[in-house]
């Protein structure tokens, strides 16, 4: 993994640069900043190879800690716990958000590491019911690699999964409902079918009303989660849900993986639904690259 933006003196800007130049630049950087190894190697830092030679700063796998540092949520201002909603999506070069109904064929192992890290940083993962059904969602795991970080951030062992659904047409016998570490939340409208609400609650899920009709008002959903103490929000889509969050103006950040694949066909884009009147502007916060996949972070301007 290597960092392409923000540009630092460790960034490889010229593919023809020699290995010697890279090492020289990195050594020069360390002379100014001190060794990168203290308190965890900085992204892009050198590592000694098994042969005792230094490897180029871009050619190694980042630790989960480094990825977590690169994706840290903004610090909330004291006394002002404002929720921050980020989305994590993957898209092909031609804008497809899935292939054969799943995102897995356009993802890869590093994308899944980023995906897992973003989960580990979140208080709650918001997801549309169709993605839960199509991708056969399971409860979020407690991961030893992130235990200290979560504890220090005042978070429980794993994020809650919050499913947005009007129909509550979900299989409540699944582990997602019966045996999560943290009770699964279901965000729905006040007019949701009472028998489905009862079935959800019987399974152990917690039903949260965030709309006056059958559906959920996206802005109200964000507020309802914040009222439950969840301020580091992550949505994993799908496109129909993400489109509504964009339209409601509640999306603060998009972590978009650009997969170096082309699929053609009529797949959904990452955000669907009616177009908004004026395109919303986002600014690039960071850009990482590995194996031709781009890992971007955009925050709303």
Ligand X SMILES: NC(=O)c1ccc[n+]([C@@H]2O[C@H](COP(=O)([O-])OP(=O)(O)OC[C@H]3O[C@@H](n4cnc5c(N)ncnc54)[C@H](OP(=O)(O)O)[C@@H]3O)[C@@H](O)[C@H]2O)c1
Asked if 268 and 96 touch (Cβ cutoff 8 Å), the reply is: yes
Q: Closest approach of Cβ 133 to ligand X, in Å?
A: 8
Q: Is 138 among the residues that bind ligand X (CB under 6 A)? A: no
Kindly state whether residue 108 participates in binding ligand X, applying the rule CB under 6 A: no
89 sits near ligand X (criterion: CB under 6 A) = yes
Stretch that binds ligand X, among 26-34, 93-101, 224-232, 291-299 (CB under 6 A): 93-101
Q: How far is the CB of 120 from ligand X (least distance, A)?
A: 18
Asked whether the beta carbons of 44 and 58 are under 8 A apart, the reply is yes
Q: How far is residue 177's CA from residue 238's CA, in Å, rounded to a whole number?
A: 20
Strands 185-188 and 206-209: parallel
In the list 8, 63, 134, 286, the residue contacting ligand X (rule: CB under 6 A) is 134
- Binding ligand X (rule: CB under 6 A), the pick from 140, 241, 246, 288 is 241
The C-alpha atoms of residue 225 and residue 208 are separated, in whole angstroms, by 9
How many other C-beta atoms lie within 10 A of the C-beta of residue 233?
27
Nearer Cβ to ligand X (12/256): 256
Coil/strand/helix, residue 290 = strand
Nearer to ligand X, 10 or 295 (CB): 295
For residues 26 and 6, what is the distance between their CA atoms, to the nearest angstrom?
Answer: 16
Binding mask 149-178 for ligand X (x = CB under 6 A): ---------------xxxx-x---------
Among 25, 47, 65, 135, binds ligand X (CB under 6 A): 135
Q: Which of 3, 250, 40, 234 is nearest to 118 (CA)?
A: 234
Q: Is the CB of 129 or the CB of 224 nearer to ligand X?
A: 129
Is residue 97 a contact residue for ligand X (CB under 6 A)? Answer: yes
Peptide bond between residue 238 and the one before it cis (omega within 30 degrees of 0): yes
Rounded distance between C-alpha atoms, residue 201 and residue 177, angstroms: 9
Closest residue to ligand X in the complex (CB) = 238
Selection from 201, 246, 252 nearest residue 226 by Cα: 252
Nearest approach in angstroms of CB 218 to ligand X is: 6
Please list the residues that pair with 215 across neighbouring strands: none
126 part of the interface to ligand X, by CB under 6 A: no
User: With contacts defined by CB under 6 A, how many residues of the chain interact with ligand X?
Assistant: 30
Answer whether the bond into residue 6 is a cis peptide, omega within 30°.
yes
What gap in Å lies between CA 128 and CA 163, rounded to an integer?
Answer: 6
Q: Give, as ranges, the residues between 269 and 298 that touch ligand X (CB under 6 A).
A: 270, 272
* Nearest CB to ligand X, comparing residues 43 and 215: 215
Binding mask 197-236 toward ligand X (x if CB under 6 A, else -) reads ------------------xx-------------------x
261 interacts with ligand X by CB under 6 A: no
DSSP 8-state class, residue 249: T
Candidates 10, 56, 98, 155; binder of ligand X (CB under 6 A) is 98
CA distance 160 to 301: 28
Any idea what DSSP says for residue 157?
A: S
Q: Can you give the binding site for ligand X, defined by CB under 6 A?
A: 89-90, 97-98, 101-103, 128-131, 134-135, 164-167, 169, 215-216, 236-241, 244, 268, 270, 272
């Amino acid at each position: 993994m290597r960092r392409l933006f923000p540009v630092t003196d460790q960034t490889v800007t010229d593919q023809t640069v020699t290995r010697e130049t890279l090492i020289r630049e990195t050594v020069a950087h360390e002379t100014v900043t001190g060794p990168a190894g203290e308190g965890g190697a900085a992204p892009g830092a050198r590592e000694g190879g098994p042969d005792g030679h230094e490897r180029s700063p871009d050619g190694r796998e980042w630790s989960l800690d480094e990825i977590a540092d690169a994706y840290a949520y903004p610090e909330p201002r004291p006394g002002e716990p404002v929720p921050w909603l980020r989305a994590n999506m993957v898209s092909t070069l031609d804008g497809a958000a899935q292939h054969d109904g799943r995102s897995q064929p356009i993802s890869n192992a590093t994308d899944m590491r980023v995906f897992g890290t973003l989960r580990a940083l979140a208080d709650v993962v918001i997801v549309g019911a169709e993605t839960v059904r199509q991708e056969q969602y399971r409860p979020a795991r407690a991961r030893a690699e992130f235990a200290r970080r979560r504890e220090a951030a005042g978070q429980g062992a794993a994020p809650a999964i919050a499913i947005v659904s009007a129909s509550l047409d979900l299989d409540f016998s699944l582990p997602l409902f019966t045996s999560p570490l943290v009770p699964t939340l279901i965000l729905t409208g006040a007019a949701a079918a009472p028998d489905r609400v009862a079935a959800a609650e019987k399974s152990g899920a917690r039903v949260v009303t965030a709309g006056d009709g059958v559906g959920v008002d996206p802005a109200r959903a964000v507020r309802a989660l914040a009222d439950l103490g969840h301020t580091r929000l992550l949505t994993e889509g799908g496109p129909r849900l993400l489109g509504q969050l964009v339209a409601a103006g509640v999306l603060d950040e998009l972590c978009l993986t650009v997969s170096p694949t082309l699929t053609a066909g009529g797949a959904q884009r990452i955000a669907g639904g009616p177009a908004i009147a004026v395109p919303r502007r986002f600014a690039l916060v960071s850009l990482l690259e590995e194996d031709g996949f781009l890992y971007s972070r955009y925050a709303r301007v």
